Amino acid sequence: MTDLRWTVRLDGSCLPERSLIGGKAWSVARMRALDLPVPPAFVITTKACLAFLEHGDFPEGLAEEIDANLAWLNQETGRQFGSTERPFLLSVRSGAAISMPGMMDTVLNLGIDDVTEKALADETGMADFAHDTHRRFIELYASIVLKTPVELEGHATAAEWRQQLADAGGELPATARDCLTGAVRAVFESWNTRRARRYREHHNIAHDLGTAVTVQAMVFGNLDDRSGTGVLFSRNPLTGENLPYGEYLPRAQGEDVVSGKFTPLSLAAMHELDPEAHDQLLLASDRLERENRDIQDIEFTVQSGKLYLLQARSAKRAPDAAVRSAVEMVAEGMIDIDTALSRISPEQIKTLLLPRLVPGASDGAAVVARGEGACPGVATGVLVTDPDEAERRAEAGEHVILLRATTSPDDIHGMIAALAVVTEQGGSTSHAAVVSRALGRPCVVGTGAQAGLKAGDVVTVDGEAGLVYAGALAVEIPDERADATLSRLVEWASERSKVRVVHPDEIAAGETYLDVDDHLAGGELDALPALLAGVSAAGGLMLANPDAARVAAAQGVKTIVTQPVLPALLAVMGAEA
């Protein structure tokens, strides 16, 4: 066998570091080792990506390793890539060590052409399926690799599709192998796109990690009436409730779900359509959560009634879910207290304690749009439909709500700038929903194109109820001490923190501290280090800001007096780690 320097076969026999093969490939290898149903795959490592980005071309030996791995996939599948008889197709997916959902590129159905389309049609007896698969490949390859987006008519011939692509300035490579080379290059290059860099900067992810490329045999959720695709969370990623949560789209491929262009069905609908695959999925979900000791986000496909798992990763979750799941997993004996605290960021608690609608505030309020709540929280602002405008107006100090038909990775800068996101299309596993949860932004999806929303209107978005109200409604601030789960976290964190963080009414008589709010009326965080130099006790609402609390801890402050307590407490614990 060829010595493999740039690639790894994901056969479950070894489990390389995520930093080398990325989270997606790591999950494939892990699931194969657990004997779960996973299509065979190999991965091109992050080391190969970094070499490509440095030199602008594949490193020496990579092309030969890809050929050797394709021969191995032929053996694993019992089929032949690019063959006229019993061909198989490939998915080519990005996969960084740290999850960056929706930020980099994927190509599906790679390997199909006129000859393989006919072979698939003859084998399955489903000419429409084979033709639709061919169309999907050309559209995705044109957009991702050729940078020439086209929208093809399903009833046209393949020759007409290629002509339409040529008219737009694009041309497909001559062979399936050449197509694969182009797809791998495109995934490597997607590491440095504007949207990917902005996402990494927002989440403090290093730019020098690179992405791996997972090359996997395709399974088809669009094959027949017993086929489909979906996403399952082992617990509710909105609330943290210990119940499976997800969506299923019959006769579809994975990109149909995450694109937000189609509204999927519930898991209950999947149970009605194919109870055996549904039950197998729940068993796999439970096992993966127990093995990984965290909420799992599982992508799956059902092909003619057979379940295949494509990826499992720790789920992005809304702040409510992060808090509830962490505390409940401690009670279940799944994780310890230190792990629970490490999974909750001060920014999530800060979001959780943001204002929410006052009871009765929405009574009689005009609901201008209804959709599906994709990330809890309440935000008020002016509707803006362009992400560039959202970013510009937010930088000027305006509160904006981003309104889109559906979001894509190219909208990330506007989503970061906005206080909330509203989309006309999509479900709770669409791009808008997943990224909003990662950002902690209230989000409502699937309002419909005819909703009464227009740019310039001031609205209030309720991301839990899935409602958009006209105007600015009255809100209230939650109390961390009245919430049993949050007070438990305060207790745990206080026992472990080297910095004492307390509420103002917990200060003993005669105890003094420097009130930073009196000295920094303009909120100038840059002046805080000098102000706190040599100070042992400091207080003020500004120190509830996690960034300000970290500065205080770095300056040696031993007591912080602020409210709410928990965001600052978690921030100083993170600074101590």
- Nearest alpha carbon to residue 289 among 345, 246, 233, 214: 233
- Phi then psi dihedrals of residue 264, to 5 deg: -80, 175
Distance CA 414, CA 381 (A): 14
Per-residue pLDDT, 517 = 79
Per-residue pLDDT, 1 = 42
Distance CA 561, CA 473 (A): 31
CATH code of the domain covering residue 389: 3.50.30.10
For residues 68 and 12, membership in a common domain is answered with yes
For residues 411 and 362, membership in a common domain is answered with yes
Please give the DSSP secondary-structure letter assigned to residue 542.
G
Per-residue pLDDT, 118 = 95
Please give the DSSP secondary-structure letter assigned to residue 126.
-
For residues 304 and 195, membership in a common domain is answered with no
Copy the structure tokens of residue 341.
């605290």
Distance CA 77, CA 62 (A): 22
For residues 423 and 525, membership in a common domain is answered with no
Domains contained in the chain, number: 5
CATH code of the domain covering residue 79: 3.30.1490.20
Per-residue pLDDT, 3 = 67
Amino acid (one-letter) located at 49: C
For residues 3 and 113, membership in a common domain is answered with yes
For residues 489 and 443, membership in a common domain is answered with no
Per-residue pLDDT, 577 = 67
Distance CA 145, CA 122 (A): 29
Distance CA 357, CA 355 (A): 7
For residues 362 and 432, membership in a common domain is answered with yes
The pTM of the full predicted model, rounded to 2 decimals, is: 0.76
Taken as a whole, the chain contains a residue count of 577
For residues 130 and 212, membership in a common domain is answered with yes
Per-residue pLDDT, 509 = 86
For residues 451 and 530, membership in a common domain is answered with no
* Residue 124 neighbours by CB distance under 10 Å: 15
- Nearest alpha carbon to residue 189 among 311, 313, 58: 58
CATH code of the domain covering residue 313: 3.30.470.20
Which residue reads 């005009």 in tokens?
A: 366
For residues 33 and 179, membership in a common domain is answered with yes
Strands 372-375 and 443-445: antiparallel
Distance CA 111, CA 303 (A): 19
Partners of 215 in the beta sheet? 42, 92
Domain limit, last residue, from 476, 495, 513: 476
Please give the DSSP secondary-structure letter assigned to residue 427.
-
For residues 285 and 421, membership in a common domain is answered with no
Distance CA 214, CA 313 (A): 15
Cβ burial of 504 (10 Å; 0-12, 13-18, 19+) is middle
Low-confidence ranges of the chain (pLDDT < 50): 1-2, 522
- Phi then psi dihedrals of residue 110, to 5 deg: -70, 135
Helix (H), strand (E) counts: the chain:
22, 26
Which residue range is the domain that position 295 belongs to? 219-317
Distance CA 255, CA 259 (A): 6
Please give the DSSP secondary-structure letter assigned to residue 525.
G
3-state secondary structure 139-152: HHHHHHCCCCCCCC
Per-residue pLDDT, 524 = 60
Residue 266: how many CA atoms within 13 Å on its side-chain side? 7
Per-residue pLDDT, 350 = 85
